[in-house]
Amino acid sequence: MTGMDWQPILSEELLPLAWGAIKAAAGEVRSCISSTHSPAQLCEFALLFGYLSRTDTEEWGDLAIQCLDAAAEQASAQSSWRGLYGTLWRIGWTFHHLGGVLSEDEMPTQTEASAKQDSIASIDEALVAGLQSGEWHGECGLIHGLVGIGVYFLERLPRPLAVRGIQLVVDHLEEQSEDSWGGITWCTPPARLCDEHPESQGPGCYDLGVAYGVPGIIQFLGEVVAARVEAWKAHRLFEGAIQWMLAQEHSSHAPAHFGSSFVPGERVIDSPLGWHHGDLGIGAVLLHIADRFDRQDWRQVARTLLDDCITRPQGREKMHSDASLYSGALGVAHIYNRVYHASQVVAYKEAANTWYAGALPLKDPAEHVTNPAGNSDAGFHLHSSMFSGSVGIALALLAAVTRFEPRWDRLLLLS
């Protein structure tokens, strides 16, 4: 998203609570680090420590490097990454991203970065080899699928292997796509459905969440088009997917504009309020791509969704029970923080503060998180992960109290 330079937005009376929660969350993460954590988990820890190092003591930077070293050691001992691409791209993304965050200077330009010795080229090679090995049988979305790999390769541009990786991701997305409602979409087959979609036990569903579904695919394709990689094919999929998604908006009298998913022949279930599914995530994605391509029609839809979520009563109970980025209060707060910086709409700043204030009185925010359904075997750790625990809590609060832009939210497809 374009917009104003990053500024702290948290109200003055909340600052002591926020810094206390940041230090508590970071301390909890630090205390639980052990050799039992996976490389992906260690990279999440490193991401938090890296961002803390820009605002606090150098000790956090040292901890970030220690976590990266431990992750690299574990990863190098892995005999095969086949079937573990969701873990591999997260490791590679974090190594590349923190190379700039941990620097004394601003993050290097893509040209400068590509000129340096590349210590994670083997990850590029492994992912490209996996994508070239034949038909894709995995998921398409961000968390476990093609879009996640694509996000990694976007971070790695303009390297030739990154360009090739993006081309392959777009090829697989095209192969998995289907024409529907005058547009283009992707179906999640029953075998790949997680517990978040109990409504679909038949032909599968069409997910309307950023985390697993079509909105996340749209955001990725928009970035591919903007980067001028595989432009014609990506643009066709991008435009078709937006057309399909907008056709899924239901009655304006319903609490939510979009359901969590579309299941042929089934009643639409209103989406919860959060990053992971429905109106709020879709609004953030649409605002980003509207700014990217200067589309006033998309911007108007985005503003309607974001504005209506401010006054929507459904879902506000989680403000005092779930602090997570994935489905909770700080995910909502961070989205409004991000869209405020993109649009300079004061109502979004006020909404962000409302949700920060709701989360901060929790005695221990890490105790009030929701583990994403279906991720028990995916490297998530309930009390320390980015999506559902202390890492995400601290990162979201840091974004509210510092001047350092939270570029980590590219992992959430928010920038």
Q: How far is CA 334 from CA 151, 328, 338, 368, 412, in A?
A: 20, 10, 6, 17, 11
> What integer pLDDT is reported at residue 344 of this predicted model?
96
> What integer pLDDT is reported at residue 217 of this predicted model?
98
Percentages of the chain per state (helix, strand, coil), in multiples of 5: 55, 5, 40
* 183 secondary structure, DSSP code: E
* Alpha helices (H) in 270-328, listed in sequence order: 279-293, 296-311
> Among 19-28, 183-192, 312-321, where is mean pLDDT lowest?
312-321
> What integer pLDDT is reported at residue 351 of this predicted model?
96
293-336: pLDDT as tens digits = 999 999 999 999 999 999 987 667 667 788 899 999 999 999 99
Q: What is the DSSP string of 111-177?
A: HHHHHS--TTHHHHHHHHHHHHTSS--S--STTTSHHHHHHHHHHHTTSHHHHHHHHHHHHHHHHH-
Which of the pair, 110 or 271, is modelled with greater confidence? 271
282-303 mean pLDDT: 98
pLDDT confidence tier of residue 169, bands split at 50, 70 and 90? very high
> What integer pLDDT is reported at residue 253 of this predicted model?
63
> Among 12-21, 242-251, 266-275, 332-341, where is mean pLDDT lowest?
266-275
Q: How far is Cα 145 from Cα 155, in angstroms, rounded to an integer?
A: 16
Average pLDDT over all residues of the chain: 85
* pLDDT over 90 (residue 203): no
> Which helix (H) or strand (E) is 178 found in, with range?
strand 178-180
CA torsion sign, 164 to 288 to 273 to 384? positive
Answer whether 335's CB lies under 8 Å from 295's CB.
Answer: no
> Among 20-29, 121-130, 244-253, where is mean pLDDT lowest?
244-253
Q: How far is Cα 289 from Cα 295, in angstroms, rounded to an integer?
A: 8
* pLDDT over 70 (residue 362): no
170-182: pLDDT as tens digits = 999 999 999 987 8
Three-state secondary-structure class, residue 414: coil
> What integer pLDDT is reported at residue 135 of this predicted model?
87
80-94: pLDDT as tens digits = 555 567 788 999 999
327-356: pLDDT as tens digits = 999 999 999 999 999 999 999 999 999 999
Tell me, what amino acid is at 4?
Answer: M
* Closest to 411 (Cα-Cα) out of 392, 397, 398: 392
pLDDT confidence tier of residue 376, bands split at 50, 70 and 90? very low
> What integer pLDDT is reported at residue 378 of this predicted model?
34
pLDDT confidence tier of residue 382, bands split at 50, 70 and 90? very low
93-130: pLDDT as tens digits = 999 999 888 875 444 444 444 433 466 898 999 999 99
